[in-house]
Amino acid sequence: MEHTSSRRGPAFARRGKGTGGSQHGSRTQGVQRIDRAPRDARSEPRFDQTPRSSNQPAYMQDGRRGVRTVPFGSRPHRASDRRDVNRPAFDQRKAGPRAAAASSTSWENVAEWYGTHLSAPGTYQSEVVWPGALKLLGVGAGKTFLDVACGEGSFANLVVKQGGVVVGIDAAPTLIRQAQNKHIRNSEFLVGDAASADRNLRDRKFDGAAIVLALQNISDMSAVFASVSRLLKKDAPFVIVLNHPAFRIPRQSSWGFEDERKMMYRRVDSYLSENAIPMQMHPGDAPTINTTSFHRPISSYITALSAAGFVVDAMEEWTSHKESTSGPRAKAENRVRKEVPMFLAIRGRKV
């Protein structure tokens, strides 16, 4: 529906153009399918994006063969972080030997763009994601929180504004540098791997933790959960926010419009299969920079949380705050926004 960033990209919602598409069976005669792949691992195509030709497979874009979707875990993940020799060194005694390691997809190459995007008004993060995550986390004065895959510190800054103390950890040195340069009081930002955060912070205990729109870009989810669990106090909350895995599956979900009923709908082609999906970060500016989105069904998250010593005590589904004000499909777009959630939030509590 709208373009969002799972850490990232500008959000749009504009009217559809009636671009047409293939028809599938008697119940979908007159259905126009809009199924261009999302622009990045945390994004959704706009309503009005032109679909691919029906005879062109999902991994073909603009006439060029792209990267195929591969089964989850079928090939080793590789980190692509490269440090600039002109950048100041980070304290690796705190960051640990696995800083920027292979358990997560690197955002180092798009760190500058990401920071600029998050400063724009009206993003999904500022309007939907961050307020909901803060509520579930139960931020309060005198509490210390761990922000896993903290990015450039925007969410950590909101936690501090509500009276909390924050330690943020991220594998991308440039994002950590951006967070440090904000000089947020009562905060500390370290370069490190989310899957081994407890090794770097073994002497610390936290009143809560969050990983906001980043877990879908980390391959070893179980290691992250186990690491965070070891750092939390008993009964402490752990808040996870995701692009909704039941409806926002890169290359396996799409928007369509049914002419007869004048209704927008969500099509899901695959859900239960876990997949590692290569994604272009922002094709218009840097089409060669890719990241990986790891799709998992909701049950996988619940099972992994339980194995790490958490009990799930809350789950919320959040819809878009956008609104179409003109165009022939504005009513249908606004209706489906309120019916098909964009984000899933899960709260586990350390037992």
Range of the domain at 108: 26-82+97-270+278-285+292-350
User: Per DSSP, which regions of the chain are E strands?
Assistant: 31-34, 60-61, 64-65, 70-71, 144-148, 165-170, 187-191, 208-212, 237-243, 253-258, 263-268, 275-282, 286-295, 310-318, 343-350
Sort strands 253-258 and 263-268 into parallel, antiparallel or unpaired: antiparallel
pLDDT tens string 175-234: 999 999 999 999 999 999 999 999 888 889 999 999 999 999 999 999 999 999 999 999
Q: Any idea what the CATH number is for the domain that residue 34 is in?
A: 3.40.50.150
Residue 75 domain-assigned?
Answer: yes
Is 30 a residue whose pLDDT tops 70? no
Is 24 a residue whose pLDDT tops 90? no
Residue 45 domain-assigned?
Answer: yes
Residue 10 domain-assigned?
Answer: no
Residue 346 domain-assigned?
Answer: yes
Task: Look at residue 256 in the predicted model and tell me its pLDDT.
Answer: 95
Residue 18 domain-assigned?
Answer: no
Q: Which of the four pLDDT bands, split at 50, 70 and 90, describes residue 259?
A: very high
pLDDT tens string 102-136: 344 455 555 554 555 555 668 899 999 999 999 99
Residue 2 domain-assigned?
Answer: no
Q: How far is CA 351 from CA 98, 136, 235, 308, in A?
A: 28, 17, 6, 10
Domain tally for the chain? 1
Task: Look at residue 292 in the predicted model and tell me its pLDDT.
Answer: 87
